[in-house]
Amino acid sequence: MKLRRWTAVAAVALATVTALNTLPATAGRPYDPTAQSLGTLGLRHGLHVGTAVDMAALNDPADPRYRELAASEFASVTAENVMKWESLEPTRGSYDWAAADELVAFAKRNRQSVRGHVLVWHNQLPGWLTSGVEDGSISTQELRELLRNHITTVVSRYRGKIWQWDVVNEAVSDPWDTPSTLHYKGFWAEHLGPGYIADAFRWARAADPRALLFYNDYNIEAFGSGDPADDKTQFVYDMAKRLRAEGVPIDGVGSQGHLGTQYGNYDTLQVAAALKRFAALGLATAFTEVDVRSRLTDGVQAGDSEEINPRLQASAANFSVLMKACLAVRSCLSYTVWGFTDRHSWVPGWFDDPPEGLATLYDEDYQPKRAFYEIKSDLIFAGPPYVLPRAIHKPRRAG
Ligand code: G3I
C-alpha cells in the first residue's frame, strides 16, 4: 500500500518535471529565452511587465523605435500623463478623450493590459478646478460632487478595458514635509478630509465592478521603523488595513519604485517581506513606476567609464531587487517601468540641481542597458524549466 502510494507520488513528480522541461520550440529551432521580450517572459509567470507611455514620443514619426519597443517589449501599458485630470478635462465640462482612447486602442492592438493612471491626485489638476476652490467659487460640497462625477465618468468610459486603476495616488506625506509626522497631505485631504479616499474607491467600484482598484505611492518598497509617525510603508499598511476592515473595495497597493543609486535602497528579502505583509491583508501588489536614477556627475557627463559603470551596475541591481521580490510573491501582479528609455524619461527634467538621469532600461539610442539584461535574466531563471532542483553528485570511487 505504502509502496504503491510512493510510486504514484514519484510518477506525478516525474511527469511534472518532464512537463516543465518541455520547452516551446519553433519549427526545428531550439527555444531561446533570451530572444523573448520582457513581456513574454513575464507572462510565463503570469506577471505583466509593462511601461508608462509618453504619447508625444509614441506619435513622433522621427522616433519610430519608441513605438516599436512600446508595442513589442511589454505586456502592459500605463498612460504617463494623458489620463490625468488636467489632460482629460482641461475645460470644465468638456472632456478630451483623444489621447487616452488612443493608448487604450494601442494596447488592444498589441494585446497589452492597461493600468489606468490616475483618478485622484493632487498634481496635474485642471486650473479651473484649483483656482475655483481657491477663489471660493467652488464650494466643498461641489468639489466632492465634481470628484465623484470625474471618477464615475472616467471609469465608466473605460469600463472593462482597464485591468488596474490607480484610484488614489500619493495621499501620504513624507518625513521631510511639515509637520514631519506622517499625515494625509495635499489638495484633496485639505479640502475634503481623508474620507475622500474611501469615497473614491467606492465610486470607482460602482463604475466598474471588475477593474482592480489600487492605492499607489512612492517610498513604500520596504518597512522601516514600524512607527506610522515616520514609516511611510507602515502608515500606508495601516490605512489599507483600515479600509479593508471598513469594507472599502480596495484590491491592491502599488509601490511606485522610484529609486536612486545614491541612496541605500533595499535588498530583495526586505522588499519581498513588505509585499508579503500587504498580501496577508488580502491585497494584490504591483510595482507601478520603476526607475533607478543616478547623479550625472561631471565625470559621468564627460563619459568617464569609471564613474558610469558603477552607476549602471547599481541601477541594474536595484531594478533586479524589485523584480526578484515581485517574482517571489504570488500576489505581485505587475512590474511597470516609468518610461523605458533615457531618451524619454521624466527624471532629467525633474531632478536638475544636481542633475540626475540614466534611470531607465535603455539608453538614449535605444541600446538595452545592464538593467534590462538583469531583469530579463530574473524572469528567465525564476524557477523551472531553467532552474531545477540541484543535480545529485555522488563521490566517485577510485577506478
Ligand atoms: O503638456 C505640457 C506641454 O504643453 C508643455 O509644452 C511642456 C513644457 O514644459 O510641459 C508639458 O507638461 C509637462 C507634462 O509632464 C507632460 O509632458 C509638465 O511640465 C511636467 O511637469 C509633467 O511631468 C510629469 C509629472 O508626473 C508631473 O507631476 C511627468 O511627465 C510624469 O512622468 C510624472 O509622473 C508621476 C506620476 O504620475 C506619479 N508618480 C510620480 C511620477 C513622477 O513624478
Residues in the ligand 1 pocket, defined by CB under 6 Å? 80-81, 123-124, 169, 256, 289, 346
Rounded distance between C-alpha atoms, residue 312 and residue 89, angstroms: 40
Rounded distance between C-alpha atoms, residue 312 and residue 304, angstroms: 12
Residue 394 falls within a domain, yes or no?
no
Residue 138 falls within a domain, yes or no?
yes
Residue 74 falls within a domain, yes or no?
yes
Kindly report the CATH number assigned to the domain that includes residue 91: 3.20.20.80
CA 81 – ligand 1 centroid, Å: 7
374 is catalytic: no
Residue 81 falls within a domain, yes or no?
yes
Domain count, the chain: 1
Cα–Cα separations (whole angstroms), residue 385 to 11, 39, 169, 390: 18, 18, 38, 12
Largest CA distance in the chain: 94
364 is catalytic: no
Residue 24 falls within a domain, yes or no?
no
Residue 163 falls within a domain, yes or no?
yes
Q: What is the residue-level pLDDT of the chain in tens, covering all 399 positions?
A: 344 554 454 444 444 434 444 455 556 677 899 999 999 999 999 999 999 999 999 999 999 999 999 999 999 999 999 999 999 999 999 999 999 999 999 999 999 999 999 999 999 999 999 999 999 999 999 999 999 999 999 999 999 999 999 999 999 999 999 999 999 999 999 999 999 999 999 999 999 999 999 999 999 999 999 999 999 999 999 999 999 999 999 999 999 999 999 998 999 999 999 999 999 999 999 999 999 999 999 999 999 999 999 999 999 999 999 999 999 999 999 999 999 999 999 999 999 999 999 999 999 999 999 999 999 999 999 988 777 777 788 888 998
Q: Which residues form the domain of 334?
A: 4-10+33-381
CA 70 – ligand 1 centroid, Å: 19
Rounded distance between C-alpha atoms, residue 307 and residue 298, angstroms: 9
Residue 165 falls within a domain, yes or no?
yes
Residue 28 falls within a domain, yes or no?
no
